[in-house]
Amino acid sequence: MYACTVRRTLETNLEQNGYWLSQLSFIYQKGQDPADVLGYEEIIEALTAKMFKEAAQRYFDMNNYVQVTLYPEPGR
């Protein structure tokens, strides 16, 4: 599901000049190859649920977090 959302956002962004300007500017500042921008779709396609789960387990400390629950306003 996440990859679908990211893929659709990328498709939309590819049609915007501002996206290209920001990506190329970022790549230039980092000294990377401008052709790297064209490889994002392959990276997104390679993402799996297992990869997200492993990243969450690695980077999120489950002993130090806040859980928030939103309830609707009364009368709505």
The pair phi, psi for residue 47, each rounded to 5°, is -70, 140
pTM strictly above 0.95:
no
pLDDT 10s digits, 13-71: 989 999 999 999 999 999 999 888 888 888 888 888 899 889 989 998 888 888 899 99
Cα–Cα dist 4/33, whole Å: 26
